[in-house]
């Protein structure tokens, strides 16, 4: 089975509001997907279903802070 590339976007709070944290976005999506394929969902980039396990780990890390 396969799944599509759907990156998590990370933002940081600055004195002028929220701003995309491109460094963290690239870094963490490389952990999940093995590479960074851009900032947008892309159904043409098929990923093994096993990336969902890494995606779940990352979501849990975000929610719990651990």
Q: For residue 59, what are the domain limits?
A: 2-64
Cα–Cα distance measured from residue 5 to residue 42, given in angstroms and rounded to the nearest whole number: 5
The mean pLDDT value for 30-54 works out to 96
Cα–Cα distance measured from residue 64 to residue 59, given in angstroms and rounded to the nearest whole number: 9
Query: Shortest CA distance to 25 belongs to which of 15, 42, 37, 17?
Result: 37
Query: Is 90 exceeded by the pLDDT of residue 1?
Result: no
Query: Is 90 exceeded by the pLDDT of residue 65?
Result: no
The domain tally of the chain equals 1
Task: List CB contacts of 13: < 8 A, sequence separation 6 or more.
Answer: 19
State residue 37's pLDDT score.
98
């Amino acid at each position: 089975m396969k799944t599509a590339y759907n990156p998590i976007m990370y933002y940081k709070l600055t004195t002028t509001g929220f701003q995309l944290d491109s460094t963290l976005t690239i870094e963490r999506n490389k952990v999940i997907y093995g590479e960074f394929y851009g900032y947008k969902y892309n159904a043409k980039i098929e990923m093994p279903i096993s990336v969902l396990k890494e995606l779940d780990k990352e979501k849990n890390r975000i929610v719990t802070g651990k």
